[in-house]
Amino acid sequence: EVVLTQSPGTLSVAPGEGATLSCMASHNLKSNLAWYQQKPGQAPRLLIYGASTRATGVPARFSGGGFGTEFTLTISSLQSEDSAVYYCQQYEDWYTFGQGTQLQIK
């Protein structure tokens, strides 16, 4: 099973600043990685797929990068509405998720 390890566990950032979230994979995923945003009481929302392609309607300040075993999600010009838990997910070998990064906007 592919294990995804996300860091940090929690991140607190001021509005207007940027944040970078990390996702490390135990196996080579090529570009088969997605990122999701989940707010309390809601289902996860797809942000990024193919490691770097934004899903429909996702603002340009969300960007994904990486290949193989190391991936990042970068959010620039943070807004209060970006407060959420962010998950990475791989679909190279069936489907597994990381444990999540809690992003707090100060």
Partner 1 sequence: QVQLQQSGPGLVKPSQSLTITCGISGDSVATNRAAWHWIRQSPSRGLEWLGRTGFRSQWFHDYAVSLKSRLTITVDTPKNQISLRLNSVTPEDTAVYYCVRGPGPYEYGMSFDLWGQGTLVTVSS
* CA–CA gap between residue 17 and residue 32 (Å, rounded): 28
Residues 100, 101, 103, 105: which binds partner 1 (CB under 8 A)?
100
* CA–CA gap between residue 45 and residue 70 (Å, rounded): 22
Question: Which amino acid is it at 60?
Answer: A
Please list, in sequence order, all residues whose beta carbon lies within 8 angstroms of the beta carbon of residue 87, skipping any fewer than 6 positions away. Answer: 6, 35, 36, 38, 44, 97, 98, 99, 100, 101
Residue 99 within binding range of partner 1, rule CB under 8 A: yes
Nearer to partner 1, 14 or 40 (CB): 40
Residues 22, 24, 69, 91: which binds partner 1 (CB under 8 A)?
91
Residue 58 within binding range of partner 1, rule CB under 8 A: no
In the complex, the smallest distance separating the C-beta of residue 79 from partner 1, rounded to whole angstroms, is 23
Residue 2 within binding range of partner 1, rule CB under 8 A: no
From first CA to last CA, the distance across the chain in angstroms is: 36
Residues 23, 25, 34, 75: which binds partner 1 (CB under 8 A)?
34
Residue 22 within binding range of partner 1, rule CB under 8 A: no
